[in-house]
Amino acid sequence: MPDRPSPLDSLIREANRTAARKPGTLDLLAQMIQLALKDGADPYLVAGVLVEGAVTALAGYIPPERRSDAVLGLVELFSERLKANDL
């Protein structure tokens, strides 16, 4: 067990705190993304919008002193999710 949490642990905790403050908001966003894809939205454009959203969140809403850890956590999370989906 590491002495300090990994960037991924920090990112997950922050997402959970945000979800607790605004119940259902992140759930709604995930459902809207799934609905858009099921409704025929271009998957390449959806992926691009999600990347832009992640960059906007990191650049505009994460404090500068926490950005490096947040970026590392996001990359780790992305990699883990790709692996979990055999990609």
Question: Does residue 63 sit within a domain?
Answer: yes
**Confidence at residue 22, expressed as pLDDT on a 0 to 100 scale:** 62
Domain assignment of residue 25, yes or no = yes
In this predicted structure, what is the pLDDT of residue 54? 95
Q: Do 70 and 7 form a contact (C-beta atoms < 8 A)?
A: yes
pLDDT at residue 1, as a whole number: 47
Distance CA 41, CA 35 (A): 9
Q: Which domain holds residue 33?
A: 7-84
Could you tell me if residue 38 is inside a domain?
yes
Q: What per-residue confidence (pLDDT) applies to 4?
A: 63
What's the pLDDT band for 28 if we cut at 50, 70, 90?
A: confident
Which of the pair, 15 or 50, is modelled with greater confidence? 50
If one counts the domains in the chain, the total is 1
Question: C-alpha angle 15/17/23, rounded to 5°?
Answer: 90
| Amino acid 10: pLDDT | 75
* 23 falls within a domain: yes
Percent of the chain whose predicted confidence (pLDDT) is above 90: 61
